[in-house]
Amino acid sequence: MGDIVRAVRDVYLKVRRTTPFQRKALWAIERCRTAVMKAVRVKCEECGDEYLLYRSCRNRHCPRCQVAVRERWLAARERELLPVPYFHVVFTVPEILNEIALYCPEVFYAALLSAAGNALLDVGMSKLHARLGVLTILHTWGQNLMLHPHAHCVVPGGGFSQDGKRWIGVRKPTYLLPVKVLMARFRTLLCNALRQAAKEGKLHRLPKNALPYAAIEGAAAQEWIVYAKAPFGGPRQVLEYLSRYTHRVAISNRRILSFANGKVTFVWRDYVDGNRVKVSTIDVMEFMRRFLMHVLPDRFVRIRYYGFLANGRRHENIELARELIGRSEPLRFRQRPRFRALCPACMAKSMRAYKRRRAQRRNPYRPPPVRADAVGVVL
């Protein structure tokens, strides 16, 4: 990704309009782990060799700077897990609202996360008679980098009674809440929030020919998509899920196959077409446009908590929940591998060992490798 940005950043900024936070992300990705950021001399813990380590940009949209941040966040969440089943709910909005998300991202995405979290709280109180806890994660992209705003929610299977003195668990370990009711409540909350934002003039950055009320009312008349996935097998599976979905960027470096002659070839998964893996080649300017659509405004919080997991009294509520459930001790997990940087000598040694292992343990079910020159190939 850094090579692409360094090659076309100046040209792109001359021909396309960008926001200040998009330009800031491009500036950071262009300089990440290069001589411009300077370097520090460190000593390898494994072999003792000294080498130069270039500083990272630490921008949350950089594909290379999320591993350490994600590990610290997961270590904190590990101490907050409860001995109950966890559920995964996905809230998606109609495409007719994408224009509002594109021009007013901070307003639209905040309303999206709030509507998703409060829909779960409201339906949980009406159907389960319990105050739930919700962790929401904002994603704005599809696998092909097109705009696709949706919220992933992780919900513990139960909550506090209205008086806060009892723990009310789910009636079935495989069922949380009715999806149809969640969809209707989510649609109502988000549409009301967007109507209020339009009334207060918060959607003023929309083009003059855009009609926000028409888009909102058109979306309100549609059937929205709320998908409740199968419950996790346990707290350990929750951590594995969170490690895949938190601190992700629109596209990772491993999905970019090649960049040559002004074209970018990348691999993506088409969930509509039977979850097939496809390869696409697009113009680099179009690739940059798609990538920058998913750069969030500065200081926008994309991971938010609701209910008894809200930041104000989260630790006290988790301790109380453990007492009411009957498991006052925190869950114990295997120690997570510590993130560390490898020196060039150790990395070369590890790569040689990795290739030998792959040659000895060849998986007969592995699909054929994707060629960089293949366009539109379906594996």
Q: Is residue 215 part of a domain?
A: yes
Is 94 domain-assigned?
A: yes
Percent of the chain with pLDDT over 70: 87
Beta-sheet strand order (sheet of 303-307): 225-228, 86-92, 147-156, 133-141, 303-307
Tens-place pLDDT, residues 211-257: 999 999 999 999 999 988 777 767 777 877 777 778 888 998 889 99
Domain that holds residue 201: 83-250+293-325
* 88 assigned to some structural domain: yes
Per the structure, how many domains does the chain have?
A: 1
Within a domain: residue 37? Answer: no
Q: What is the DSSP letter of 131?
A: B
If pLDDT is split at 50, 70 and 90, which confidence band does 181 have?
very high
- Ranking 211-220, 261-270, 368-377 by mean pLDDT, the lowest is 368-377
Query: Residue 289 has what pLDDT?
Result: 95
pLDDT at position 215, please?
94
Tell me whether residue 278 is in a domain.
Answer: no
Quickly list H helices, the chain. Answer: 2-15, 20-31, 67-78, 98-103, 105-123, 179-199, 212-220, 235-245, 284-292, 314-325, 344-360
Residue 40 predicted with pLDDT over 80? yes
Within-domain flag for 178: yes
284 against 76, higher pLDDT: 284
Q: Is residue 256 part of a domain?
A: no
CA atoms within 13 A on the CB side of 172: 7
In DSSP notation, 156-189 reads: ESEEE-TTSSSEEE-SBTTB-S-HHHHHHHHHHH
| pLDDT value at residue 66 | 81
Q: Give the pLDDT confidence score for residue 154 in this predicted structure.
A: 92
Q: Is the pLDDT of residue 172 over 90?
A: no
